[in-house]
A and B are shown apart, each in its own frame.
Chain A
Amino acid sequence: MASFWRNTRFWRFAGQAISVVLIVAALGFLGNNLFGNLRQLGIQFGFNFLKSQAGFTIGDIPFAYKPSDSYNLALLVGLLNSLRVISVGIILATAIGVTAGIARLSDNWLLRKLAIVYVEGLRNAPLLLQLFFWYFAVFLGLPSPENAVSFGFISFSNRGIGLLGLQLSPEFSALLAGLTIYTGTFIAEIVRGGIQSVPRGQWEAARSLGLKPGLLMRLVIFPQALRAILPPLSNQYLNLAKNSSLAIAVGYPDLYAIASTTFNQTGRAVEVMILICATYLTICLVISLLMNVYNRSVQLVER
């Protein structure tokens, strides 16, 4: 009979036991310190403070909110603001990215080079810096609404973007511009890679069928490229959602910005942290679930 230290099952059990002990010990140590420190600060854990008056004003509000409302309501405003910028951002970033990705493969030299300059130029600079640039240098530097820069139905001024009577605040506009243009560079590369992954024979076959370039792209190449595009694309959507938390840099009241104000006013680090984590995890989970469902519908069904 082999001795027990030669037994794999013993070692598997020991390994599990050791890891459990280590993890529990580490968590216990941290938790113990946490409770000790909180007691020293005189803070009692609980979410009841959310019902008290928030007392701060919020610039962008989707519904009637006043400073005398509760933190709950303020955080809801933040959540809705986040969802607004994420959903619009995803749509616009996809449009920009797909356009730039196709332009990178165009047989027009100038268009191709322009797309390369856009992708290489903007994805290698930090998003935060681009947000600062869009907000302080572009939107706040624009003329006042009376002499706004206008292109038909859309006009730009230091009060933000006016779109068919809809007025978007400069904070929202700057955040949206920064997020979509930055994420667009990554999506462009994904789209280019996806299109290039379609075998040459498919192009040749479609051309020999007499399809025009537009139809060829729409009917033959793009549906096949989509299979390679979707998984990394959903990663970019997640990145966009997470990066939307940089809104605080341009003063847009998204979920993180309001949670951070709540922390500054109440000092409730743990509760605010839990709220931020839970919300962003949920948002990310929902996006990846939706993308997985869509992804499954375009994947090749193999027998």
Chain B
Amino acid sequence: MNAKSKTPIAWLQRNLFNTWYNSLWTIVCFALLSWIAYGVGNWAFNKAQWEVVTSNLPLFFVGRYPADQVWRLWLVLVIVVGTIATGILNRKRRFLFILIPVCVLSILWLIGGGFFLTTVGTNLWNGLLLTLLAASISIVLAFPIGILLALGRQSSLPILRGFCTIYVELVRGLPLIGILFMAQVMLPLVLPSQIQLDRVVRAIAGLVLFNAAYLAENVRGGLQSIPRGQVEAAKALGLNTSLSLLLIVLPQALRTSIPAIVGQFISLFKDTSLLSLFALVELTGITRSILAQPEYLGRYAEVYLFIGLIYWVFCYTMSQVSRKLERKSI
């Protein structure tokens, strides 16, 4: 931002018309902007039929989840918001280690049912609900694997290091769609034939295998940023290798890699849209099945813009929060 200007005209002069080529740019941009605004506005108010969005609103969020059971999802929302709020407000973070597993278990119980609640099969977990579930379960499961892979890559044992390096580089060289294909098609082949995995479980397995490799690289970046002196000091205090890792190196490494990990979660959240290519009915998938109905034929733009906005709100919020965290920690 330039220095504060007193009058609007002075501001305009300084920021838009300070040189002849800037004036030209301003005019070109303004023309482009008004052309786009006119086109979009004309389309949104005159041509678009938003009925496809308004009449299917519950479908986008919870899909075919039984309507009389939706209160359970509201409860889940309350739990999630409550946990995040206590995590932010409470200074003592220690009790979160107990609170979070309890919350996760109760959330899964509330969504899936069983144990006094009506069971809701995974084929009825659709829409945004499935998107959020797949993304959060995958990141939670991928996290420990990622840490182990990162530690393995930094290890002094050549065989372990080689194996972890090969895994990480192999996965990072493949497109996610290929990994998901592998998870859907190969996973049933490499597991004993008695084990029948659910479609959703296979998709989550694919996301976990994929994201573990990327998380490993993020954590490795954090590990490399820890000065040697920290390990030496831990050794001088008499800690052995595993304790110095657990108490000294990892906590610092994870703290420095938080922004990268949040970034990874954002891209994971966007990547869940690929599950729609494997017949899963998450947010993008349910959109495609709505668009396949004859009465909504050709209403692509309206629906894609709407769910694009949903994705955008989540990703943008997360990236802003992570930026704030980054600034705070520096």
**A interface residues with partner B (beta carbon < 8 Å):** 12, 15-16, 19-20, 23, 30-31, 33-34, 36-38, 40, 106-111, 114, 120-121, 124-130, 132-133, 136-137, 140-141, 238, 242-246, 248-249, 256, 260, 263, 269-270, 273, 276-277, 280-281, 284-285
Select from chain B the residue with minimum beta-carbon distance to A43: B189
State which of A37, A129, A276, A277 has its C-beta within 8 Å of the C-beta of B189. Answer: A37
Chain B binding site: helix, strand, loop or mixed by DSSP? helix
Within 8 A of A (CB), among B144-170: 156-160, 163, 170
10 contacts between A and B (CB under 8 A): A15-B157, A30-B190, A33-B189, A106-B22, A110-B16, A125-B270, A141-B298, A248-B177, A273-B186, A277-B178
| Contact indicator A107/B2 (Cβ below 8 Å) | yes
Interface residues of B (CB under 8 A from A): 2, 15-16, 18, 22, 25-26, 29-30, 32-33, 156-160, 163, 170, 173-178, 181-182, 185-186, 188-193, 266, 270-271, 273-274, 276-277, 284, 288, 291, 298, 300-301, 304-305, 307-308, 311-312, 315-316, 319
Q: Which listed residue (A36, A120, A133, A284) contacts B300, Cβ 8 A?
A: A133
Could you tell me if B25 and A111 are in contact, using CB atoms closer than 8 angstroms? yes
Bound-state CA distance A114–B33 (Å) is 9
- B300 close to A141 (CB less than 8 A): yes
Contact A33 B190 (CB under 8 A): yes
Q: A260 touching B284 by the CB < 8 A rule?
A: no
Q: Are A129 and B308 in contact (CB under 8 A)?
A: yes
Q: Which residue of B lies closest to A14 (CB)?
A: B157
Main secondary structure of the interface of A (DSSP, over half): helix
Number of A-B residue pairs at CB separation under 8 A: 153
Nearest Cβ on chain B to A11's Cβ, whole angstroms: 9
Contact B308 A133 (CB under 8 A): yes
The answer to whether B301 touches A114, judged by C-beta atoms less than 8 angstroms apart, is no
* Cα distance, A20 to B158, chains bound together (Å): 11
Question: When A and B form their complex, which 3 residue pairs have the shortest distance between CB atoms, in order from nearest?
Answer: A124-B315, A109-B15, A137-B301
CB pair A128 B174 closer than 8 Å: no
Contact A280 B22 (CB under 8 A): no
* Chain A residue at minimal CB-CB distance from B30: A110
Q: Which residues of A contact B308 (CB under 8 A)?
A: 125, 129-130, 133
- A178 CB to closest chain B CB (Å) equals 12
